Every structure is written in C-alpha cells, then in structure tokens.
Chains A and B, each alone.
Chain A
C-alpha cells in the first residue's frame, strides 16, 4: 500500500484535531480534540513502523494526559459554557512574537543540520527487544533519572493531597481556666 495513501488522511486528521483543540469554544471539546490529535500522532508513528513509540503514545497521552487535562478543566470550572468575551486581545501580539521565535528555534536547526542531506535510510524497524536492551544498558542513566523525577513528582502529589490536620497549638496563657468542651452545642 503506498504510504501517502495512509499518511495524508492521518496528517489531515491530526491537523484538524489540533486546530479544533485551539479553536473550539467549549473547553471539554478542546480537551477531547487534543486527545484525537494525540491519537492521530500515534497512528502516524505506527505508519512509520515505530510500534513501541506509537503504543506508548496512546498509553501515555490518550490514556493519562488527556484524562489529566479533562479533570483539570472540570476542577477549574472552566467547562461552563463559552468563556471568551472577544476573539481578539492585545496579548495576541506578544503571543505571535513568541510563537514565531519558538518556531524559528525549532525549524532553523533542523533545516541547517547535515542530516537532511543524507539519504533516507530504508524503512527502519526497531524491535521492542532492542529498545529494551538499549534502555537497560546504554540509556540506563537517563531512564533512571526520569524514574527518579517521576517518583519525586508522585511523592509531591501525595504530600499535597494529604489531610491538612495540624496539631492544635496550645493556648498562649496556661493560667487561664480553659472552657470545658461541651458535648452538644445549644440548638439554634
């Protein structure tokens, strides 16, 4: 099957979903659209014979990150209808400038790198076993660093979520008689 036949519909789907993620009015729709864009990217990876990356993309981005975004949207009460008063704001100029700079930073090195002048390798396949071996030997340090970072984030999340039950400070003046704790307060 010619790969253009698969690539162009997938690319169109991904782009449309990405545009929808930015342009839609309802925040939940935006989040779901972003999930669709992640799925499209995963399918493109699969089309490029990168099985492991494709599945990992679905597992991490569609399974976890999209859910995280959706929860965030619901918890911040942004989902109640349209939230933008007008489509244009003065912040746009700064935004455009930063976007342009970022794009230049990303595109220029790629265009100037010598790797583009090399011939494309014949469609490479990476067996999962090879990826695993490389991760355990050559890239063990980056892997463990990432693991440490994630563990730190997890512990931090648990600490934030802990019950805020501080011990009650003792009264400043010990000599004053303390009020007896009443069993029931008077009905109002």
Chain B
C-alpha cells in the first residue's frame, strides 16, 4: 500500500505508456513526463503568485487580492487573461527579432532544467550522469536572454537594468556553485539521484544524514539560499528592475504576454533553484524520521519545497533592497571567501569521518564551528563600510 502510494505517478505513467502502440512508446513516455512537469509547475506558478500577494499583504498589515472568486483565489486566472488580451507593444526603434526572441530564450532553458531534478523515488525525467552540470549550464543561458531583452529595447533604462542583472547573476553564480561543490565532493557524484541516495539513512539511529545537518552543509545551505535569491532576482536583490530608479529594468519595454513570460521565467527559475536546494541539502525526497517513511516520497519533496518557497516570500516581505555596490561587495567579499573556507571545512569533515572514538561527532562539529564562526564574523566586519570623508564639491554649488 505504502509502496503503491509512493510510486503512484510512476505506475500511472507505465500504465498510460502501455496503452500506446508499441512503436510510439518511447515518445509517449517522454511526452507524458514533459506534460506532467509543465502542468505541475504552471499550476505552481499561478498558486505562488496568489500566495505571495496574500502573504505579503498579511505581513504588511493590509488585505491581499480578495475580489476575484472566493478569497481572491481566482486572481491568477484574471491576471493571465488580462496579460493575454493586452496589446503587445513593440517600440518603434526596437530590434524586432531580438525583442521577440528574448522572453523565449529566457523561459525555455528554465523549463529544461526541471528535467534532472528528482521529485520522488524513481521520479526524475532523465537521470544524467552530469545532472548538476547540466542544471548550471542551462541556467547560465538566461544571462544572455536578459541581455537580449535589455539591448533590443533600445531604451537606456532597459540597458541599465540588463547590465545590473547580468553583473548580479554572474557575481552570484560563483558562490552558488561554490556552495554546491562540498556536496559533490562528499557524495562523489554529479548525478542528483546519487546525491539524494548519499543522504539516506540516520546517524545514531535518529538524526537524518541530510547535508544541512553538518557544519559545512549548514553554512553551504545559507550561502546557497542567499545566492539563489540573487540569481532569481528576488527582493532584497531585485534591483535589476528597481521600480524607483529604473522603471522596470529590462522589462520596461515589454507588455502583454511577453511580460507574463518574463514573470513565468523568473518564478520558474526560483522553483528550479529551490528544488535543487532541497535535493542538495535537505535530503531530497527522504523522510526526516524513520517512523514517517510510510508517507510518499514526493510528499516530502513537496513539503520541503513549499517551506522554502514560503521562506523566500518571508524574506521578500522583510528585507529592504540593497544598493548596487553593496550587492556586489557582498557577493565577492563575503560570500565567495566564506564558500572557499567552507570547502576546507567540508574536506576536514570528510577526512575525520574515520574517527571512531566517543565524542568524535562533537569534536568534528566543534572543528567546523571553530573555523566557520570567526571567519563569518571577521568577513562581516570587513564588509561594513567605513564612514566616508566629507565630500568636497568643486562644481556643484
């Protein structure tokens, strides 16, 4: 029974494929998975927009959208309909072809990146040997799409926004990947399925062997979440589209469904990188306790995924937007050095894994904390900008 519930979707897919004629089966199997993923994350996108607005409203002491349908739940449909029937404006001097291609070039690679994520036991579209490399390679294509959007609009705000976005995405890709490296080192594989398998079991019979429950994993998880927020252009790192200074950044000249596609791409990017965070650090679809293992694996994935999405919304409601120099300094002078130190901690954790005496676990934790905590404090201190000397204006009087 538990097995059937766990493998529900896998069994369903096998049944459906068996109904197709023999020659078309590989194709049908592929199409089924693609359709399921697109339907699932399309719905997720609609749900997240309404949830985000509701939660933001509650946190900022106001009502969220509450007019369309019961409790405003049909708001995403109204938004979608509005986006579809709005006029699609293209600026007169814009580069028409690139202006059209940019939203597609942003959205398509992000859909592809869902292919390698394991959503449950035996539930990944393709199990690539170099899955995580595929994920990051596909993700890096979105920078070019952002540039295409900004440049083809022939608008200074668009170009400035695109430049900011690219600088931010390139800078934060470094800590994102560096925070991932210890996980790959300890799992000894680039395949996401293997990484989830490596986190199976319980230390001491009760503590799950998730990566987040190790010193390097805890630090890496924090680094990864910060870098992921920046990669998906979310507040407090949303200054590529800073409304107060750049109108809407590289989105300025987009309207109608192209604008909706950019938004879809942004949210899908967030979903993909959240799914990766769950897989890398939170044990993927593994249950947290042994007596809870009867709950289907995909439910665990969904629960962890949903909690992280809520965390992202919470952060958005809480923190103010950074300045551009603060943003880049934070990436290069704080996150990157800390991620490099974290590599050292992970190596120490790996080589001290052979210790057998009592108190070895505590000693290993202490070792990690002794290295990580001072470097966290010192790097943070160094980041605080000294008060500038009084300015001397020569021409502005």
Which A residue sits closest to B190, measured CB to CB?
A128
* 0 or 1 for each of A127-145: is its CB under 8 Å from B? (1 = yes): 1110000000000000000
Per-residue CB contact flags for chain B residues 178-217 toward chain A (1 = under 8 Å, else 0) read: 0000000000111000000000000000000000000000
A185 cross-chain contacts in B, Cβ below 8 A? 394, 397
Asked whether B90 is an interface residue with its Cβ less than 8 Å from the other chain, the reply is no
Residues of A within 8 A of B394 (CB): 185
Q: Which of these, B133, B134, B140, B151, contacts A64 with CB under 8 Å?
A: B140
CA distance A175 to B200 in the complex (A): 79
Docked Cα-Cα span, A56 to B132, in Å, equals 11
Task: Tell me how many residues of A have a C-beta within 8 Å of chain B.
Answer: 26
Q: Given the known A-B contacts A32-B98, A184-B397, are A63 and B137 also in contact in the complex, defined by CB atoms under 8 Å?
A: yes
| Cβ-defined contact, A59 with B137, below 8 A | yes
Q: B141 is contacted by which of A52, A62, A129 (Cβ under 8 Å)?
A: A62
Residues of B within 8 A of A79 (CB): 151
Counting CB contacts under 8 A, is A11 at the interface? no
Of the listed stretches B11-19, B142-150, B253-261, name the one at the interface; the rest are far from the partner chain.
B142-150
User: Which B residues are CB-close (under 8 A) to A184?
Assistant: 397
Determine if B133 and A55 form an interchain contact, defined as CB atoms under 8 angstroms apart. yes
Best-buried of A29, A55, A67 by chain B (most CB within 10 Å) = A55
Counting CB contacts under 8 A, is B363 at the interface? no
User: With a CB–CB cut-off of 8 A, which chain B residues contact A21?
Assistant: none
Main secondary structure of the interface of A (DSSP, over half): helix
B136: A residues at CB distance < 8 A: 59
Flag whether A66 is at the interface (Cβ < 8 A): yes
| Interface check B170, CB cutoff 8 A | yes
Residue ID in chain B nearest A125 by CB atoms: B129
Residue in A28, A51, A64, A188 whose beta carbon sits within 8 Å of that of B130 in the complex: A51
Given contacts A63-B143, A128-B190, A185-B397, contact A55 B148 (CB under 8 A): no
Q: How far is the CA of A56 from the CA of B133 in the complex (A)?
A: 8
The residue of chain B having its C-beta at the shortest distance from the C-beta of A187 within the complex is B397
B residues 103-146 touching A (CB-CB < 8 Å): 128-130, 133-134, 136-138, 140-141, 143-144
Given contacts A32-B98, A67-B166, A129-B189, contact A55 B144 (CB under 8 A): no
Cβ–Cβ contact A59 & B133, under 8 A: yes
Q: Which residue of B lies closest to A26 (CB)?
A: B95
CB neighbours (8 Å) of A44 from chain B are none
Q: A67-B170, A184-B397, A185-B397 are contacts. A52–B144 as well, Cβ < 8 Å? A: no
B188: shortest Cβ distance to chain A, in Å? Answer: 8
Q: How many residues on B have C-beta within 8 angstroms of the other chain's C-beta atoms? A: 23
**Cross-chain contact A128 with B129 (CB below 8 angstroms):** yes
Partner of B137, one of A58, A66, A71, A128: A58
Query: A55 contacts which of B137, B151, B189 (Cβ < 8 Å)?
Result: B137
In the complex, how many angstroms separate the beta carbon of A139 from the nearest chain B beta carbon?
18
Note all chain B residues with C-beta closer than 8 A to A70.
144, 147, 151
> What residues of chain A lie closer than 8 Å to B170, measured between beta carbons?
64, 67
B137–A56 touching, CB < 8 Å: yes
Query: Inside 8 A of B189's CB, which chain A residues have their CB?
Result: 129
By the criterion CB–CB under 8 Å, are A51 and B144 in contact? Answer: no
Q: Residues 87-128 of chain A: 1 if any B CB is under 8 Å from the residue's CB, otherwise 0?
A: 000000000000000000000000000000000000000011
Q: From B194, which residue of chain A is reached at the shortest CB distance?
A: A129
What's the nearest-Cβ distance from chain B to residue A133, in Å? Answer: 11
Judge if A30 is at the interface, Cβ distance under 8 Å. Answer: no
In Å, the complex CA distance between A71 and B162 comes to: 11
Chain A residues with CB under 8 Å of B133's CB are 52, 55-56, 59, 128
- On chain B, the residues within 8 Å of A74 by CB distance are 151
- Contacting residues, chain B, for A71 (C-beta < 8 A): 166
The answer to whether B144 touches A32, judged by C-beta atoms less than 8 angstroms apart, is: yes
Contact B141 A58 (CB under 8 A): yes
Q: Which residues of B contact A51 (CB under 8 A)?
A: 128-130
Does A10 make an interface contact (CB < 8 A)? no
Q: What are the residues of chain A within 8 A of B147 when measuring CB–CB?
A: 67, 70
What distance in Å separates the Cβ of A124 from its nearest Cβ neighbour in chain B? 14
**How many angstroms between the C-alpha atoms of A71 and B170 in the bound complex?**
12
What 1/0 mask marks residues of chain A from 168 to 188 whose CB sits below 8 Å from any chain B CB?
Answer: 000000000000000011011
- The docked-state distance in angstroms from the alpha carbon of A51 to that of B144 is 22
Decide yes or no: A128 and B130 within 8 Å by CB, A59-B140, A62-B141 being known contacts. yes
Say which residue of A29, A62, A187 sits within 8 Å of B144 (CB atoms).
A62
Chain A residues in 8 Å Cβ range of B98: 29, 32
Q: Is A35 an interface residue (CB 8 A)?
A: yes
Q: Which residues of A contact B (CB under 8 A)?
A: 28-29, 32, 35, 51-52, 55-56, 58-59, 62-64, 66-67, 70-71, 74, 79, 127-129, 184-185, 187-188
Which 5 residue pairs across A and B have the least CB separation, nearest first? A63-B140, A58-B137, A59-B137, A55-B133, A55-B137
27 A/B residue pairs, CB under 8 Å, sorted by A: A32-B98, A32-B144, A32-B148, A35-B144, A51-B129, A55-B133, A55-B137, A56-B133, A56-B137, A58-B138, A59-B133, A59-B140, A63-B140, A63-B141, A63-B143, A63-B144, A64-B140, A66-B144, A67-B147, A67-B166, A70-B144, A70-B151, A74-B151, A128-B133, A128-B190, A185-B397, A187-B397
